[in-house]
Structure 1
């Protein structure tokens, strides 16, 4: 529970930070004024996604599930909720080609990220095991 709360607080603040950076970049790019309602809607969506993306990795801490099940649960949770939110907020237009493009993009980004994290942690485990073997 402590880890969940810590991850939640980090995700909420990170999502808020990302929202401010993105909205500020629009202003700096020449947008003279941003719509207040749109700012609030995008900020709340970003804050929610920051929370979501920071707490869903906790699936990988459930030891009773094997790695493929953890990965599937994480992927489905993140993908379904993100796409629903992105469609609702207007980040992804509501048509088939845009939805497919977003889904394929998410699958590619998720796959690359997952492989990167897997290789990193596999290498860390090997390094730690090598260090433990040198202690003996």
Structure 2
């Protein structure tokens, strides 16, 4: 439970940080003096929720009772469902076939890159640890 709460806080804070950064970039690049408060609230809450479920859903990978393909499948299904429900609900992705197709392709591309990067990183860490254990 401690890990869940810690990851929840990290995700919430990271999502809030990204919301502020993107809002500031938007204000700077568009020379706006005022923002729509309702729109800011909706987007920042969406960013916070998105940060939360992306960090908490990685707990699947710490369950030793599941194989890697099961962990990956559960994580993928969880994040894609929650993300697209959120993205359509808030309006980050317009509700039409072209936007949906582009969003799915982008999501899959990013997911594959991040999953592969983490896999290779942890595989390299495991190799280093095994080499150090053999030297003992």
Query: What TM bracket, shorter-length normalisation?
Result: over 0.9
Question: What does residue 92 of structure 2 align with?
Answer: 91
**Distance in 2 between the 1:13 and 1:118 partners?**
25
TM-score using structure 2 length: 0.97
Point out where structure 1 has 5 or more consecutive residues left out of the alignment: none
**Distance in 1 between the 2:38 and 2:90 partners?**
11
Deviation (angstroms), 1:58 = 0.2
Question: What does residue 73 of structure 2 align with?
Answer: 72
Q: Does 1:133 align with 2:134?
A: yes
Where do residues 1-136 of structure 1 align in structure 2 (5 Å cutoff)? Answer: 1-29=1-29, 30-135=31-136
Deviations 1:12-45 (A, max 9, x none): 1111111011111111112232100000000100
Cα RMSD between the aligned structures? Answer: 0.7
Deviation (angstroms), 1:96 = 0.6
**Distance in 2 between the 1:65 and 1:37 partners?**
42
Structure 1 ranges of 4+ moved more than 3 A: none
The number of residue pairs the alignment matches comes to 135
Deviations 1:67-119 (A, max 9, x none): 00100000111011101111111111110110011001101110111111101
TM-score using structure 1 length: 0.97
